[in-house]
Amino acid sequence: MNETLNFPLITRQFYMEPLALEEGAMMACHLYLWPRITGQVKDMEPMAAAGAKDPNDVKYSGAYAHMRRQVAGPRYEGYAIADENYYWSVTGKPGVAVIPVNGMLMKGAGPFAEACMGVVNPDRVSHALGQAMAAKEIKQIVLDIGSPGGRVTYIPEMAAQIKAAAATRGKTVWAFTDTHIASAATWMASQANEIITTPSASVGSIGTYLAFLNPKVAMQMQGYQLELFKKGTHKALGLPGQDLTQADRAYLQDGVDKINAQFVAAVKAGRPRVSEEAVTDAKMYDGPEAVKQGLSDGIASSWEDFIGML
């Protein structure tokens, strides 16, 4: 793959826009991105040579035989598309469509990021859901989720699409996880008809934040000082070396507050039994506790057990 990392885009999306992303994932991304954004590391395509599995290669066998499909996409045989559906079907259950949602949610992510950096573009999920809704033979749609959340852009729209699908007569939307459904992924999953988890899986992290990092001191130590000429109250907000003003802080906090209000309202609408603790404390809850907190509807011992329920 020759896709080059778009650092200006990544910087804006990750450091200057509200995130609904589990904190451990945020730190992992930061530790990888920051040295590259600041020029301490020069590898532009560090994993391109790693032989990462093509996200469209869904014919798992051999050492991958134990895996479910990880990415929503068409099925290939060689270089030809054998099945244009982005969802996959369960053997013996032709009325069930499974849509994988695995990885950090990031609107606009390209094939390289999806294949090598553990992200999923919600456009894939949206397309797969549209196909499943249009297929008359499909009666049950399963969102097979393993996601820490991510960028909030397009998550409200994705959640609304899931809500509309769940309200469609003759269709049932399930959200399932045997790993985790966190933050923005919880926003999406909350709109399904039912949420099922394994006992050790976790659900939650309802909250929004924006982490601003100012390398001003590091720049000064290297002999750099920013001289800025601008017009516009918030112009150049976030520019390396520029301190945030109180007006800047109020502006950023207002954006976080508004997004989080949408998040909480959507969860409460989709999960009427959800506890106040779950929507305010940003905690993750294991399977049994998620049921208690109103974030999940039931427990399955495994994926096979869940599929047997359908």
| pLDDT single digits (tens) 141-190 | 999 999 999 999 999 999 999 999 999 999 999 999 999 999 999 999 99
**Per-residue pLDDT at 79 exceeds 90:** no
pLDDT at 42: 67
Question: Between these two residues, 52 and 228, which has the higher pLDDT value?
Answer: 228
pLDDT at 169: 95
Q: Is residue 5 very low, low, confident or very high in pLDDT (cuts 50, 70, 90)?
A: low
pTM over cut 0.85? no
Segment 57-65 long-range contacts (CB within 8 Å, at least 24 positions apart): 58/88
Q: Is residue 207 very low, low, confident or very high in pLDDT (cuts 50, 70, 90)?
A: very high
pLDDT at 47: 44
pLDDT at 9: 64
CA–chain centroid gap for 309, Å, is 26
**Per-residue pLDDT at 11 exceeds 60:** yes
Which residues fall within 8 angstroms of residue 273, CB to CB, at 6 or more apart? Answer: 294
In tens, the pLDDT along 109-140 reads 888 788 777 899 999 999 999 999 999 999 99
Upper half-sphere CA count for residue 249 (Cβ side, 13 Å): 5
Q: For residue 297, what are its two tokens?
A: 């509807």
Out of 3.90.226.10, 3.40.50.2020, 1.20.1300.10, 3.40.50.300, which CATH number does the structure's domain 7-309 have?
A: 3.90.226.10
**Per-residue pLDDT at 222 exceeds 90:** no
**Per-residue pLDDT at 238 exceeds 70:** yes
CB atoms within 10 A of CB 93: 15
Average per-residue pLDDT in the chain? 86
- Cα 66 to Cα 62, 90, 97, 98, 170: the distances in Å are 9, 14, 19, 16, 32
Phi, psi of 42 (to 5 degrees): -105, -5
Instruction: Report the alpha-carbon distance of residue 192 to residue 101 in Å, rounded.
Output: 14
**Per-residue pLDDT at 2 exceeds 50:** no
Which residues fall within 8 angstroms of residue 147, CB to CB, at 6 or more apart? Answer: 101, 102, 103, 104, 105, 120, 180, 181, 182, 184, 185
pLDDT at 71: 86
Q: For residue 68, what are its two tokens?
A: 């479910």
Strands (DSSP E) found in the chain: 19-21, 75-77, 80-83, 88-90, 93-102, 104-105, 119-120, 140-146, 149-151, 172-177, 180-182, 194-197, 202-204, 284-286, 298-299
Top mean-pLDDT range of 2-6, 157-161, 239-243: 157-161
pLDDT at 225: 81
Helix boundaries (H) for 7-101: 7-15, 23-37
Question: Between these two residues, 224 and 277, which has the higher pLDDT value?
Answer: 277
Instruction: Report the alpha-carbon distance of residue 109 to residue 89 in Å, rounded.
Output: 25
pLDDT at 8: 62
Q: For residue 98, what are its two tokens?
A: 């499974």
Task: Give mean pLDDT, residues 251-263.
Answer: 96
Instruction: Report the alpha-carbon distance of residue 22 to residue 13 in Å, rounded.
Output: 15
**Per-residue pLDDT at 49 exceeds 60:** no
Q: For residue 233, what are its two tokens?
A: 């109250």
